[in-house]
Amino acid sequence: MDNAPEKVSAFEKRIKRQVIGKPHRFLAVVPLGFEQTLVDELQERFKAQGARTEESSNSFDVKIVGDGKVEFTAKLVEAWKAVAYSRVANRILIHIADFKAENFRELERKAAEVPWELYLDESSTDVHVTCKHSRLYHSDAVAERLQKVIAHQAETFLHLKASETSDLEHHTSSLHVTLIDDRCTIWLDLAGEELYKRGHERFVNDAPLKETIAAGMLFEAFRMASQPIALFDPMAGSGTFSLEAAYMANNLIPGKCRDFALKHQPAFKEATWRFLLNESGSALRQDSGALPPTGTRDERFVNIVTSDISEKAVGIIAHNVECCPLAEIDPKPIVPQCRDFFSYTAKEIADACSGEASPVIVLNPPYGKRLDFDAPKLYTQIGKKLAELARELNPLGKQLTVAILVPKDDSRPGSRFTCTANLLHECPALDPAQSNSAKRIVTSHGGLTLNTFIAKI
């Protein structure tokens, strides 16, 4: 290894030229139904932070490519921003190879041509394979062959990176591979654990909502509501809506407390990463004005009112606030209280909306495993309550914005599972078929199909 320094230098130049310096395709995986929400979030994020020049602005392209899938083209550092700041994406992957493979010999030969050393460190690699309409239909066998090729090149990885400047910790990389119509496409995960995991300890109540779905609903509701905003989370459960809103209100990075796979990959630069985390920005940018610095209060949020009928839930929320970066903020952005949603009055809501703030109610009522009662009756009551609040808030100069999750009705003849129908019957302003200011997003959670209704009522 007489020429080790030169080899390392050449390797670093390859990293800069082939990985950092040129645009790549990236795939963002998002909760079903929130594809356009993620497109809007990424566009606003890149507009706020990534488009420093006309050239960089023009190089960014984002589009929906399938259910729960969004692709964008950008340089690697821009993708790091998406990993750090996106509240809606579950995963973000970089495209590293694409080739035709009709048999295992061709698969191994083409895979051996991939410059794995530019993307993987010497740690272990998990390979997740999906095969459709291909001669190579056995996903486990495909994964085994790819791992064999990668392992064979591992000594080269170590040889190239044998340097004092190489300080990569042991980490399991994740490759996501699709074989469709004999076309093999390989993506490398930049996130690691799914991005809905924000990295801090969190107690949960029954059937907790994923943070990415909650963030998507908040994103849609806040864009629809007039600003500034007062948020009401009266069926808070584990406090997911309130926690996400408090992160937004204080411009905190979603994954501030967690690790990311990208930090263990050869192209990672600690100084660049720290610079990205110190940039200002908000996923709710709606104008061309300056954004509040990260970690400072966003004045578009005036209040977060959090409550639940269960004392256990209130205790869980209080614990979750103390175990995340919100605990460092004074006064506390979330002070949960034990209270029934149906006890709220329009006057109380209007009083909590100081100044010109608009009320936004977010609801994740019981469904699925939590349905140990008459669910359609509950959604009838919720619809009546929302319609009543909207009717009484209007004379007080406040228009209510609502975002609510509802289980999809059972369409089988004679079924009495009619939660959506009952809700919309009592509060037709939530129905896009009857109101131009209403929006419906069909998503899934916990194996159930859900309707998300967002509307000004």
Query: Does residue 328 sit in helix, strand or coil?
Result: helix
Is 195 a domain residue?
no
| Close Cβ partners of 38 (under 8 Å, ≥ 6 residues apart) | 28, 30, 70, 86, 88, 89, 216
Q: Let me know: does 285 contact 173? Beta carbons within 8 Å.
A: no
Helix and strand counts by DSSP (H, E) for the chain? 14, 14
| Close Cβ partners of 76 (under 8 Å, ≥ 6 residues apart) | 19, 20, 24, 94, 267
Confidence of residue 372 (pLDDT cuts 50, 70, 90): low
Q: How long, in residues, is the chain?
A: 457
Confidence of residue 55 (pLDDT cuts 50, 70, 90): very low
Q: Which of 156, 189, 222 is the last residue of a domain?
A: 189
Is 392 a domain residue?
yes
My answer on whether 229 and 302 are in the same domain is yes
395: domain CATH number is 3.40.50.150
Please report the pLDDT score of residue 429 as a whole number.
97
Is 56 a domain residue?
yes
Q: Global pTM?
A: 0.88
My answer on whether 236 and 380 are in the same domain is yes
Is 99 a domain residue?
yes
My answer on whether 176 and 222 are in the same domain is no
My answer on whether 45 and 176 are in the same domain is yes
Weakest-pLDDT range from 72-76, 154-158, 171-175, 317-321? 154-158
User: What are 433's two structure tokens?
Assistant: 């078929």
**Is 344 a residue whose pLDDT tops 50?**
yes
**CA gap 73, 27 in Å, rounded:** 9
* Angle, CA of 173, 175 and 177, to the nearest 5°: 170
Q: Let me know: does 118 contact 20? Beta carbons within 8 Å.
A: no
Q: For 398-414, write each residue's pLDDT tens digit.
A: 999 999 999 988 766 65
User: What are 401's two structure tokens?
Assistant: 């914005």
Is 59 a domain residue?
yes
Integer CA distances (angstroms), 89 to 28, 170, 213, in order = 6, 25, 9
Q: Let me know: does 437 contact 224? Beta carbons within 8 Å.
A: yes
Is 262 a domain residue?
no
Please report the pLDDT score of residue 317 as a whole number.
94
| Close Cβ partners of 424 (under 8 Å, ≥ 6 residues apart) | 383, 430, 431, 434, 453
Q: Which residue has the higher pLDDT, 347 or 153?
A: 347
My answer on whether 363 and 223 are in the same domain is yes
My answer on whether 236 and 384 are in the same domain is yes
**Is 98 a residue whose pLDDT tops 80?**
yes
My answer on whether 226 and 132 are in the same domain is no
My answer on whether 95 and 216 are in the same domain is no
**CA gap 244, 202 in Å, rounded:** 13
List, in sequence order, the alpha helices (H) in 46-153.
Answer: 54-58, 76-85, 104-112, 139-152
User: What are 208's two structure tokens?
Assistant: 């907790």
CA 84 from centre of chain: 10
My answer on whether 166 and 272 are in the same domain is no
Q: Residue 68: which domain range?
A: 4-189
Q: Which of 158, 189, 220 is the last residue of a domain?
A: 189
Q: For 245-303, write each residue's pLDDT tens digit.
A: 999 998 888 877 788 999 999 999 999 998 888 764 443 433 333 334 445 567 777 79
Q: What is the mean pLDDT of residues 435-444?
A: 94
**Is 231 a residue whose pLDDT tops 60?**
yes
25: domain CATH number is 3.30.2130.30
My answer on whether 177 and 223 are in the same domain is no
**Is 371 a residue whose pLDDT tops 80?**
no
List, in sequence order, the alpha helices (H) in 86-127.
Answer: 104-112
Please report the pLDDT score of residue 156 as a whole number.
64
Q: Let me know: does 50 contact 86? Beta carbons within 8 Å.
A: no
My answer on whether 451 and 377 are in the same domain is yes
Give me the number of domains the chain comprises: 2
Is 204 a domain residue?
no
Is 249 a domain residue?
yes
My answer on whether 79 and 176 are in the same domain is yes
* Angle, CA of 201, 249 and 301, to the nearest 5°: 140
Confidence of residue 427 (pLDDT cuts 50, 70, 90): very high
